Chains A and B, each alone.
Chain A
Amino acid sequence: MHSDGPNDERGLSQQIAVTREPEQAGEDIWAKDKVFEVNDVTVSYGKKPAVRDVTMDIVRNEVTALIGPSGCGKSTLLRCLNRMNDLIPSASVEGEILYHGQDLYGHKVDPVQVRKMIGMVFQKPNPFPKSVYDNIAFGPKVLGMKDIDERVEKALHGAALWDEVKDRLDDNAYGMSGGQQQRLCIARTMAVEPEVILMDEPCSALDPISTGKIEDLMAELKEQFSIVIVTHNMQQAARVSDKTAFLIVELDATDENRWGQLVEYDETGKIFTNPQDSRTEDYVTGKVG
């Protein structure tokens, strides 16, 4: 396994590319608190790798976007960060993912404990078939937290949903619009006070207005949380994220196996205006994908 200090020579690995030179201002953009250090990670389903040899750091209180064409393994990668992949029996993770320096896949690590600290919002809004209140109260209750009412209200404020639902906390969440449901899911995640929120294409099932609301929300949320978002929408990545990782689909010579690979990871502005890799440029300018 790849031992890794903060100044390790990542450039050696063929897949690129994390540009590590300091900016003109002299600020090392990677020197902030790192939440995750992903080192040489390969995720496979059965024997087939879904995404290979990814190395990247994710920084605290920022929005990090994973973009790329479908099948590039961005969701797979995201799901490794809070061990949701454990739910798929055939999935296996090689390499190392450090969460504040602790190996996320270490022998003694408990996935339940991991998910308390690293929450997740899914592609399709998935509220529980219960009241708005119960949806949010569920997490704090099972985690044995106190002051449930207060937490519910706080979380609804946090997700900018309070004014819309304060009079119908007892209504079934299935009666809400898709956008409200998704913000409810975000509120539900906030209520258990995680440190990181992972978002798996959170707006792909929503209309533009709801999408706008959630994007606005993200800008506020990053003050309190670190956010990793998977999106197929490049404009969205450009709007909301501080850093962007671009993944592509690689094929082997026989054309039978395909897997995702990290091409470039940098500040969002750079990825979209001055990418180092021509494949990134082709993608963000809409030539391919």
Chain B
Amino acid sequence: MEARDSIGAFGQRGAARPLPSLEAPSHRYGEKLIKVLLGACALLSVVTTTAIVISLLIPTIGFFTEDNIGITEFLFGTSWAPTFQPASFGVLPILVGTLSTSLWGMMFAVPIGLASAIWLSEYASPRARKVVKPVLEVLAGIPTVAIGIFGLVFLSPLIDDIFPFMVNVPPFSAGIAGLAIGLMIVPIIASISDDAMRSVPSGLREAAYGLGATKLKVATRVVFPAAISGVIASLVLAGSRAIGETMVVLLVAGASPNLTFDPGSSVLTMTAFIGQTATGDISTGSITYDTIFAVGSLLFIITLILNMFAIRMVRKYREVYE
């Protein structure tokens, strides 16, 4: 038989084969080197974070020591005019400007994003989902400068016509900037919340239906609460993106550091301040240069806290359901 003969060719019967050695034939330095090199690439992320912290920290320390700006003046001062004479460095107006645009953005994006997520996860047919979700994700990739232009030349005049109180100084307004930011973060909320809700085990839904719950009740009282940590993570990440957004506010929010949450008012945000001031030709070590980094530090700390919180929430729902 052909097959048998060929097996026979392996010929390992009996003790003819010498005792095999279990030791490695070589040191395999190559394998170890590769691991080290790959690890070094991964370590680059730690290096980047360190570099960010150092590059922010040194000028910020300079800002508070050499430039002699008091920390309380910076954090609680209500007037922001770093390039004027006399200069004032109260960060509150631009902090509030940032919070204002982000808040108006969230007001728009949270209900729409969450409703989209519930629809995607609980109501949409597989076919509709297969189209809508990638489309949303592709649209999430629209450059923010394009969204800003849309806010400036389309949303702003449109809303000014309908609700004049929304735009006090045409075409700039915190509310319109918020609306444009909202458009930008809707896909983030929808996509991440949808993932979280879909990772809720279907047994939970079936149990609720078995008890006679309606689809509405299953979606809002069973699935949504079960996915809550993922939903919160999506909101926090979206908030962090809104706070860090630069181009939209640079184009739409105007540039007046007004300490107000009024959606019709023009505001200056932290990112917009950095973007408009740091356009390259300021000299290292000048007070303006240091100011940019001090504001950058504050922005970094705020988004860092939000991101860490979101990462923990995402881990939580992954631990529970995956």
Contacts and interface: CB of A to CB of B under 8 A. Distances in A.
A230 interface: no
B237 to A, nearest CB: 30
Contact of B22 (A110, A190, A221): A110
B25 interface: yes
A221 B10 CA distance: 11
A223 interface: yes
Count class of interface residues, chain B:
20 to 34
A149 interface: no
Given A33-B15, A224-B12, A225-B12, A117 B20 contact: yes
A223 B11 CA distance: 9
Interface stretch (B1-9, B132-140, B154-162, B195-203): B1-9
Interface in A211-229: 220-221, 223-225
A195 B3 CA distance: 19
Nearest to A104: B22
A193 B10 contact: yes
Nearest to A161: B3
Contacts of B13: 61, 223-224
A157 B7 contact: yes
A162 B3 contact: yes
Interface string B260-282: 00000000000000000000000
B11 to A, nearest CB: 8
Contact of A114 (B8, B22, B25): B22
B17 interface: yes
Nearest to B6: A157
A117 B21 CA distance: 10
Given A33-B15, A157-B3, A160-B3, A195 B20 contact: yes
A106 B22 CA distance: 9
Interface string B17-30: 10111111100100
A158 B11 CA distance: 12
Contacts of A224: 7-8, 10-13
A106 B23 CA distance: 9
Prevailing SS type, chain B contact patch: loop
Contacts of A190: 10
A99 B22 CA distance: 9
Interface in A27-53: 33
Contacts of A221: 7
A109 B12 contact: no
Interface in A148-171: 153-154, 157-158, 160, 162
A5 to B, nearest CB: 18
Interface string A78-115: 00000000000000000000011110101011101110
Contacts of A114: 22
Contact of A158 (B10, B20, B22, B23): B10
A10 to B, nearest CB: 24
B21 to A, nearest CB: 7
A154 to B, nearest CB: 5
Contact of A102 (B3, B7, B15, B22): B22
A216 B24 CA distance: 35
A101 B24 CA distance: 17
A110 B12 contact: no
Interface in B198-240: none
Contacts of A162: 3
Nearest to B26: A110
A112 B32 CA distance: 14
Contacts of B21: 113
Contacts of B23: 108-110, 113
Contacts of A220: 4, 7
A104 B20 CA distance: 12
A55 B75 CA distance: 71
A158 B4 CA distance: 7
* Most chain A CB inside 10 Å of its own CB: which residue of B4, B6, B7, B20: B7
A190 B24 CA distance: 21
Nearest to A226: B12
A61 B88 CA distance: 88
B7 A158 contact: yes
Contacts of B15: 33
A113 B24 contact: yes
Contacts of B2: 157
Contacts of B22: 99, 102, 104, 106, 108-110, 113-114, 117
A157 B7 CA distance: 7
A177 to B, nearest CB: 19
B3 A158 contact: yes
Interface in B22-73: 22-25, 28
Contacts of A99: 22
A190 B6 CA distance: 12
Interface of B: 2-4, 6-13, 15, 17, 19-25, 28
Given A110-B24, A113-B23, A224-B10, 4 more contacts: A100-B19, A108-B23, A221-B7, A224-B7
20 contacts: A33-B15, A99-B22, A100-B20, A102-B22, A104-B22, A109-B23, A112-B28, A113-B21, A113-B25, A154-B6, A158-B6, A158-B7, A162-B3, A220-B4, A220-B7, A224-B7, A224-B8, A224-B11, A224-B13, A225-B12
